[in-house]
A and B are shown apart, each in its own frame.
Chain A
Amino acid sequence: MNALLDALAGTGRSALALCQAAGQLALFGLAGLFHVLRPPFYGRMVLRSMLDIGYFSLPVVALTAIFTGMVLALQSYTGFARFSAEGAIANLVVLSITRELGPVLAGLMVAGRAGAAMAAELGTMRVTDQIDALGTLSTNPMKYLVVPRLIAGTIALPLLVVIADILGVLGGFIIATLKLGFNSATYLRNTLDFLETDDVVSGLVKAAVFGFIIALMGCFNGYNSRGGAQGVGAATTSAVVSASVLILAFDYVLTELFFSR
């Protein structure tokens, strides 16, 4: 009986801790959004964060996109050839990249790279009193550290996804024309004929949401880290894992919103 009660108590504690964390995250996000609208604004910090999140993530996102497009073309060819439907490869590649794989894979890569860096930087600032020091220098840490990253994440990821979309389609084009013997003009025409504005826009909206999630989770975990180097490490891990899971969950929710009829 006692063992059963202990198990129930443990489950209850975990559920309460989860609710508490969700509440803290929601309040943190709302505080961030509130401060986005109120001066002072730190344009230099936004630009610096844009560089960190966008520009420096470009190589890893570009490589991921181009190889994903190449693999997609190759895999779909082996499947579609059985039904003599090779002509649909261009359609499949462009829709998969723009609607799903571009934003999701770019989001996961940026979560691993920039989200982790954000959590580590803010976590280190927390445990070395740098965040407290900001407060004594007439600077609101939420405005100075969190808001620029939220803005930068929301703007930079769609820009990265535009590049990822182009490179992903290029990867498919390279494999289709150089390896599978497709006519390059026909492949490009098929790609452009099937592509609609909604496909690109939905991917970019997803990217903006994912960028916000990455910045939010990186900042939330770093800002609230405790306990020295171990705490910073735990915050970094938590930032990447939670952002990755939320990206996949929100991908489903946004897909439902955009495409369910």
Chain B
Amino acid sequence: MTPKLRVRGLRKAFGDKQVLAGVDLEVAAGTSMVVIGGSGSGKSVLLKCIIGLIEPDEGVIEIDGTDLAGLDRDAREAKRAQIGMLFQNGALFDSLPVWENVAFGLLARGAVARREARARAERVLAQVGLAASVGDLSPSELSGGMQKRVGLARAIAAEPAIMFFDEPTTGLDPIMGAIIDGLIVDCVRRLGSTAVAITHDMASARRIGDHAAMLHQGRIVWTDRAEHLLDSGNAVVDQFTHGRREGPIQMELRR
């Protein structure tokens, strides 16, 4: 069966630094993949390459078996319009009220009129546990947890087929982190979407992911079901998931 998302031989360097050195990854339709890895391991670069924010040096990115590089610009944009993204810090537009943030993608595609967009935004806000009155607030008036919820609402508003989550629990307390993870799982299941999350929060990884993969030195060095994260039998994954100082992962330190 053709995977929803397939990445083959993805390479990306910034100057002398080879961040991605041939990443291979497959995500089956309707499943969730969590990519773990240390800070600076290239998780965010991988995500940005897939969603088209960074141009990879080499490699193939396929959605539904179609190589995005082989499409013309309009067709590529149409494929990428199936993607929703929750950014690490929310990335809410601070010049717009919350409801316009949530409905931004719908309005940009011309899918709905402004009045209908407002109603849709309020429905989506309710799905992430926020009252309709929050729609009139500015993003700067929201707490970190509420900003994540609004970011999630914006990501799911257009009911995307593929969703990406960049460090969804970073900066949140454990309870709020668990709430956000629960919302992510609920939304992905309800929409039947395929999800890819990157994180270094092990609790979050096990809550969100059906499968997990470890990115290390620019390559995927392990992949399995997410429940095996803590007993993977892989030295790199074991060191990372248990937070051991000694092991094959050598942190780059400048002296």
Most chain A beta-carbon neighbours within 10 Å: one of B51, B85, B154: B85
Q: How far is A138 from B95 in the complex, measured between Cα atoms in Å?
A: 18
- Whether the pair B87, A132 counts as a contact (CB closer than 8 A) is yes
User: Which residues of A approach B to under 8 Å, CB–CB?
Assistant: 40, 121, 125, 128-130, 132-133, 135-139
Can you name the residue of chain B whose Cβ is closest to the Cβ of A124?
Answer: B94
Instruction: Indicate with 1 or 0, residue by residue over B84-107, a CB within 8 angstroms of chain A CB atoms.
Output: 110111011111000000001100
Given A129-B87, A129-B88: A136 and B93 within 8 A (CB)?
Answer: no
Q: Are A137 and B91 in contact (CB under 8 A)?
A: no
Task: Please tell me which one of the listed residues A121, A130, A132, A138 contacts residue B108 in the complex, with CB atoms under 8 A apart.
Answer: A138
The smallest beta-carbon distance between A231 and chain B, in angstroms, is 16
Would you call A138 and B77 a contact (CB within 8 A)? yes
B7 lies within 8 A of chain A by Cβ: no
Give the chain B neighbours of A125 by CB distance below 8 A: 93
A128-B91, A130-B91 given as contacts; is B85 within 8 A of A136 (CB)?
A: yes
The reply to whether A137 and B108 contact each other, CB–CB distance below 8 Å, is yes
Whether A132 contacts B48 by the Cβ 8 Å rule is yes
Q: How far is the CA of A137 from the CA of B104 in the complex (A)?
A: 7
Produce 1/0 per residue, B117-155, CB < 8 A to A.
Answer: 000000000000000000000000000000000000010
Task: List residues of chain B with CB within 8 A of the CB of A139.
Answer: 104-105, 108
The answer to whether A133 and B91 touch across the interface, beta carbons within 8 angstroms, is: yes
- A136–B84 CB distance below 8 A: yes
B83 at the interface (CB under 8 A from A): yes
Of B81, B89, B108, B154, which is within 8 A of A128 by CB?
B89
- Whether B113 sits at the interface, judged by CB under 8 Å, is no
Across the interface, A130 reaches (CB within 8 A) one of B77, B85, B93, namely B93
Q: Does B70 contact A (CB under 8 A)?
A: no
| Size range of the chain B interface in the assembly | 20 to 34
* Contacts from B to A (Cβ < 8 Å): 48, 51-53, 77, 80-81, 83-85, 87-89, 91-95, 104-105, 108-110, 154
Does A135 lie within 8 Å of B52, measured CB to CB?
yes
A132 in contact with B93 (CB, 8 Å) = no
Alpha-carbon separation in the docked complex, A133 to B85 (Å) = 8
Cβ distance A47 to chain B, nearest Cβ, rounded Å = 14
Partner of A136, one of B51, B92, B94, B109: B51
Q: List 16 A-B contacts (CB under 8 A).
A: A129-B88, A129-B91, A130-B92, A130-B93, A130-B94, A132-B53, A132-B87, A133-B85, A135-B51, A135-B52, A136-B51, A136-B53, A136-B85, A137-B105, A138-B105, A138-B109
How distant is B175 from chain A, measured CB to nearest CB, in Å?
A: 25
**Which partner residue on chain B sits nearest A127 by CB separation?**
B89
Taking CB atoms, residues of chain A closer than 8 Å to B154 are 137
Residue of A nearest to B95 (CB): A121
Give the distance in Å from the alpha carbon of A133 to the alpha carbon of B102 in the complex.
Answer: 12
What is the chain B residue whose CB lies nearest that of A121? B95
Q: Is the CB of B83 within 8 A of A136?
A: yes
**Does B108 lie within 8 Å of A129, measured CB to CB?**
no
User: Top 3 closest A-B pairs, CB basis?
Assistant: A129-B91, A133-B91, A137-B105
Closest to B85 in A: A136
| Contact, CB under 8 Å: A132 / B104 | no
Contacts of A130 in B (CB 8 A): 91-94
Residues on B with C-beta less than 8 A from A136 are: 51, 53, 80, 83-85
